[in-house]
Amino acid sequence: MKPVFTRTATLKDCPTHYCAGCGHGIAHRLIAEAIDELDIRGRTIGIAPVGCAVLAYNYLDVDMIEVAHGRAPAVATGMKRTNPDKIIFSYQGDGDLAAIGTGEIIHAAHRGEQITVIFINNAVFGMTGGQMAPTTVLGQVTATTPQGRKPVGEGYPLQVSELLAILPGAIYVERCSVHNPAQVRKAKKAIKHAFELQLNGAQGLSLVEVLSPCPVYWRMTPVKAMEWIKKEMTKVFPLGRLKG
């Protein structure tokens, strides 16, 4: 029998630590596929965030570093400036990129660093127990918004990609999702495109935001979580190309 779907080489053959229905695993696979299709494993350096994906290097078989919470874009800057021939990507959650690391991502984009950022928006801090993230939607119940997020006092969900897209140094910004196979394929295309831009020496930062389920802290089944992305999250975070 001919296999029609197999593991891609850069994705390691090992058990996952992610919860059932988590989106991180899907995003990892898409990155691995993009790296293999572009044949850049030997020149790629990845940056793992602090968050549920802190162990991303256990799954992605490329040179990787794990860095302080939110600082990945600064670390990526240090790597790319000293190694312009390498392909540098950071993988960051919404707490990592949109809360503690806001300064680093804005300035990396502002300087037009030639790096690729994969931004996993799951509307909560997964790793620390499902607290409110800047991207938590209004009314969403989290460990620190027991009454649901209120705009007064807690603010509206932060649309970081829109914010970054207005910077001249950000050359490609697209928001994708993994809530159904068609969207997964689109996300894959976007991630590959972001890497390709860097590979071709495009003058600026490329970022792909991925709306990703956290069934555990959304208090939903994996299937319901996928539906919630489509019904609720995409209202606040519309899918599509914001720039480039």
Partner 1 sequence: MCGNEALAEAAIIAGLDAYFGYPITPQNEISAYMSKRMPEEGRVFLQSESELAAINMVFGASATGKRTMTTSSSPGISLMQEGISYLAGAELPAVVVNVMRGGPGLGNIAPSQGDYFQATRGGGHGDYRTIVFGPSSVQELVDCMPLAFDLADQYRMTVVVLADGILGQMMEPIVFERKPRRKLPPKDWALTGAKGREQNIVRSLWLGDRVLEEHNYKLQAKYEQVQKNEVLCEQYEVETAEIVVVAYGVAARMVRAAVDRAREQGIKVGWIRPITLWPFPTEQISKAADEFRIFLTVEMSNGQMVEDIKLAAAGKTPVLFFGRPGGGIPSVDEILERIRQLTIPAKR
Query: Footprint of ligand SF4 on residues 20-39 (CB under 6 A)?
Result: 22, 24
Beta strands in the chain (DSSP E): 44-48, 63-66, 87-93, 116-121, 124-125, 131-132, 170-177, 205-211, 240-243
> Quick check: 75 binds partner 1 (CB under 8 A)?
yes
> Quick check: 11 binds ligand TPP (CB under 6 A)?
no
Query: Footprint of partner 1 on residues 76-95 (CB under 8 A)?
Result: 76-79, 81-83, 86
Site string for ligand TPP, 168-207 (x = CB under 6 A): ----------------------------------------
By C-alpha distance, which of 41, 66, 38, 42 is closest to 52? 66
> Quick check: 214 binds ligand SF4 (CB under 6 A)?
yes
Written in H, E and C, the secondary structure of 14-79 is CCCCCCCCCCHHHHHHHHHHHHHHHCCHHHEEEEECCCHHHHHHHCECCEEEECCCCCHHHHHHHH
Cα(161)–Cα(119) distance, integer angstroms: 9
Q: Which of the ranges 54-62, 126-134, 173-181, 200-208 carries the binding residues for partner 1, by CB under 8 A?
A: 54-62
The three-class DSSP label of residue 148 is: coil
> Quick check: 127 binds ligand TPP (CB under 6 A)?
yes
Q: Which residues bind Mg ion (CB under 5 A)?
A: 93-94, 122, 126
Q: Which two tokens stand for residue 165?
A: 């897209």
By C-alpha distance, which of 36, 33, 61 is closest to 46? 61
Residue 241: DSSP 8-state: E
- With respect to ligand TPP, which residue has the nearer C-beta, 69 or 189? 69
Q: How far is the first Cα of the chain from the last one, in angstroms, to the nearest whole number? A: 42
Q: Which of 64, 165, 210, 214 binds partner 1 (CB under 8 A)?
A: 64
Q: Which residues lie near partner 1 (CB under 8 A)?
A: 41-45, 47, 54-55, 57, 61-68, 71, 74-79, 81-83, 86, 103-104, 107, 110
Q: Which residues lie near ligand TPP (CB under 6 A)?
A: 49-53, 69, 93-96, 120, 122, 124-128, 133
Q: Which residues lie near ligand SF4 (CB under 6 A)?
A: 18-19, 22, 24, 52, 122, 126, 214-217
